Amino acid sequence: MTYKLKTAIIAFFIILLLFIFLMFKAELKNIESLKEDYPDLNDTVYNYRIDSLKVWAIRLVISFAVPFIFLISGLSQKISIFAQNGRSLFVSGIIYGFIFFGIMFLVNLPINYYSSYYIGHKYGLSNQTLLRWFELNIKSFLVNDAIMSLFIFIPFMIIYKSPNMWWFNFWLISIPVIIFIVFISPFVIDPIFNNYRPLEDGVLREEISEILKKVELEDASIMVVDKSKDTKAMNAYMTGIFSAKRIVLWDNTINNLDTKEVVSITAHEIGHYVKGHIWKNILFGIAGTFVILFLLNVSASWILKESKGAFGFRNMTNMAIIPLFIILINLFNYLGSPIQNYLSREFERQADRFEISLTEDRVSAVSALKKLNQNNLGLPRASKFYEFMFYSHPSLEERIEFYMTEEFEKI
């Protein structure tokens, strides 16, 4: 390994720790400011944000450090040798994937338990039993990591056949996959984890049907998902295309909000659909994947050249490179997240404007938003740094002001 690469690795982890430190500093300062502006806000909300930051920091370090250990220790190469051993590329990919992702699953299991089960119950956000929590984690591993293992051979087959343009060819293949995930996953994958049923007849269904007619989406189905067995959080979304359009309401949303508030939230989600945000997100996702794969090829090639075989391999056709790919993809995703979140916040503002245009009900929009934020133990605002990196929605303060002052045209 060259001095240049060693320096780059050390610098990366120093910057990573500095990034975590600055994020904590910014949010702790923000919390002190909020305590002055909102003296009646419960300390539980602040403690939850601090605990969430701790979990984020641990996850962030794990996401880079563990794959790096796989590389530098030669463990990834050993798994690759064991997986190949004269086997076909397809079978080798399955074996490597199950071993690698299985180890990653076990490494992350304690922090997953702490973040989703322990903290969830500590702050009264979770309804899960321990058995249910474990069931969902196993299902997640089987659906995400195990299925991924079945397709590991594809990028390496492409790399082998077109070593210089593999990233572009793989990007072309990824386009239908992205579309599948967005439109098909809610109908195929989501039911593995939860049960869906049509919203029963009544005032709420009539009110939602009425606003759907206003925007000529009366053929959309209205579904309810049983999220209450897992969480106390509230949410709703709209997905699907053509005759498969559907609005999905979490049962918690129906149980904890009044009819007008649920209608407001539903109108917001309809706004995302009518404004074409689903398709725009797909296009941005496709463009982002292009950039990431290009950078992945350039950076991985440079690292392999500078490593001088220190990881046990020298080219990208070896499956042992998977941890390096994961490190780089995680890095580029983090670097791109401010752009993604900026676009998301703009889409949310458009959906907020559409919501009050459709319902003409500012009061219900604000009351629903306050209840959602309170239920999720959200802060009225975040530090500029935190918002820049992580906020996919405008802050509570900004959205309330927007709802109460924004001019709108009746739909």
Residue 268 in marked binding region: yes
- Taking CA atoms, 304 is separated from 168, 272, 307, 310, 313, in Å, by 20, 43, 5, 9, 8
Question: Which sequence positions are flagged as catalytic?
Answer: 269, 352
Cα dist from 188 to 87, 227, 239, 249, 277, whole Å: 32, 17, 13, 17, 22
SS3 241: coil
Q: What's the Cα-to-Cα distance from 289 to each of 28, 243, 363, 385, 388, rounded to whole Å?
A: 34, 29, 40, 25, 21
Span between the terminal Cα atoms of the chain, in Å: 64
CB-based contact 70:100 (threshold 8 Å): yes
32 is in an annotated binding site: no
The enclosing H or E element of 236 equals strand 236-239
CA 227 to chain centre: 18
CA distance 25 to 47: 15
State the binding site.
268, 272, 348
State the binding site for Zn(2+).
268, 272, 348
